Every structure is written in C-alpha cells, then in structure tokens.
Amino acid sequence: GGGLGSAVIQPLQIDETDNTPDRQRRMAQFANTLRLASATSPMLLAIDDLHRCSPESLELLSYLSDQLAYSPILLILLYRPEELARRVHSESQPVRLLISQLKRTGRCAEIEVPGLSPADISDFLTAQNYFFPETFTRRLTAQSGGNPLFIRAFLALLHTQGLLNREQGRFVLNQDEKDIVIPATIEAISQQRLERIADELRDLLSYPKIREERFAAQVIAGSDNEIPESNIFKYLNQLEEDYRLVSELEDQRLVVKVGPEYRFVHALLRQVLYQDLSDSQRRLLH
C-alpha cells in the first residue's frame, strides 16, 4: 500500500507558477490518494522542517487539513519555533499563518518538544560510553540548548578532530576541556567536519549526483569524472566509516538496482556543502 501510494503521489507535483483550476484539481488528487492509502489502515504522515516549506506546500497542507479532517490520517508537522520569528520579505513567516489558521479552526494540537535536560544529556553520554568532565558537559548543555542533533554532530566532530581517546571501553578527552571550542551552531559543526575531510573526498562530494536525497555509487562511477571507479567505493567507505558523513542504505528489494545506494546522515550536511559553493560552481555543477 505504501509503495502504491508513493508511486501515485510522486508525480502529483504542484507547479509554483500554476494558478489555474488545474492546481486545485491536483491538490484534490493528492487528498484522494491519501484517502485511498488509508482505506485499510491508519496513516501517519510526518513532515520535518516545516519552516523550510514553500508557500505552495503550505497551501497544500492547509487543504489537506480541511479535506482529511474525518479520515484516519494523522499529520505531524515539525518546525523550529525560533525560525518563525524571522520575517520573509518583510512579511510574517508563512508557517506562522498556517499554524494560526489551524488553531483557529480547531484542527490541530500543538506539542512543545523541550530540549534535553542536563540530566538527560549526562545519561545519553554515559549510555554512549563518553566520560567527560562535569564542567565540559555543562558547557555542552548550555551551547546545544539540549538539541540532540547538535550533541550527536559535535561528538562526531570530536572523533574527526582526534580529540578523543578510548580507555577501558570509554571515550575520554585527550586535551584540557578548556582548550576545546564548542561551535555556536549545528551549521558551524557541519562546516568544520567537512573542512577536515581529504581533498579527494571533498571533490567526490561535489558531483551533481550526490546533491540528491540518495545517490547510487554506480551512477557516480558512470558520470563524467576523474575519479577511478575502484576509488569511488573506497572513498564512500571512508566517508561512512571514518567520517560518519554518509550511510549506506539497506537493500529493501523494492526496486531493481545496480550497486549500493547512499545518503547523508543528515540533510544539513548536504545543505552546508552546497552553500559552500560559489554561484559559478553551482551553475557548472547543475
């Protein structure tokens, strides 16, 4: 059922420039497709980073919340509250307007997800075999705001920087904690991680096919590039094992494919990598 729904949903893209009744028809098709997919069992549709959605996507979500009010479908829309304070072209964030509309019509319940508490972070580090001084854990808690993604990314950065030793099965800092700088943002952590990888690996990550949500090693090998095919698999293995930037996707046997497929461990890494390119480089890659 999920595969069929994906196959039907994927072609129903909303054209940003289309203001004709055709656009309304496509939104109705989308709603009907979800109704069909939820006919035999309830459906959960989660959309992350709502604050990055285009106005057209938000319009579709508003339409779905109205049309699917009595269907066994639960929409979970996740966003960062701090992003709603930013104005877009001197106007209120479109997501704020959508949330206000949903609240006004009683179509949603808002759940605030707090950051991890200092005790939560301490328990998490212990469970992952990290043994840090208490003062360092307090600094990490304050700088991260309790954001789990920040903490995971920073731990990966510590490994990449060689600032950890493994002693008796536990990871410990090999420098005075006062000398270790904790970046201000997740983006800064991702930037530092990417800066530390070897030139040939960074060149590989610059290929257009890696800009996709998921990319196939065989496609990269068949592209017009200067990296030998034998090295591509070795480099991808390095990016996964040594740098923890990409992960190989499990073979679900849903489609016929040649060679393994990969994706970034988090889309933020891909975004930072793309933003690091100049306009000329972006045009050339595209």
**pLDDT at position 76:** 92
Q: Which amino acid is at 123?
A: D
DSSP assignment of 43-61: EEEEE--GGG--HHHHHHH
| pLDDT at residue 12 in the model | 47
Listed as ranges, residues in the chain with pLDDT below 70 are 1-20, 86-92, 206-214, 218-219, 221-226, 250-259, 267, 274, 276-277, 281-282, 284-286
Residue 78 in tokens:
């996740």
Extract the runs of DSSP E, i.e. beta strands, from the chain: 43-47, 73-77, 164-167, 170-173, 215-216, 246-248, 261-264
Task: Count CB-CB contacts under 10 A for residue 6.
Answer: 12
Per-residue model confidence (pLDDT) at position 254: 47
Q: What digits encode the pLDDT tens for the residues 93-135?
A: 788 888 888 888 888 888 988 889 999 999 999 999 999 999 9
CA distance 28 to 21: 11
Q: How far is residue 147's CA from residue 114's CA, in Å, rounded to a whole number?
A: 9
In DSSP terms, which residues pair with 170 in a beta bridge? Answer: 167
Give the three-class secondary structure for 73. strand
Sign of CA dihedral 96, 102, 104, 108: negative
Amino acid at 27: M
CB-based burial of residue 168 (10 Å sphere; 0-12 exposed, 13-18 middle, 19+ buried)? exposed
List all residues 6 or more positions away from 8 whose beta carbon is below 8 Å from its beta carbon.
33, 36
How much is the pLDDT for 174? 94
pLDDT recorded at residue 236: 80
Sheet holding 246-248, edge to edge: 215-216, 261-264, 246-248
CA–CA separation, 37 and 167 (whole Å): 52
What's the confidence (pLDDT) of residue 122?
Answer: 93
Q: In Å, how far are 30, 50, 137, 138, 171 from 133, measured between CA atoms?
A: 53, 37, 6, 9, 12
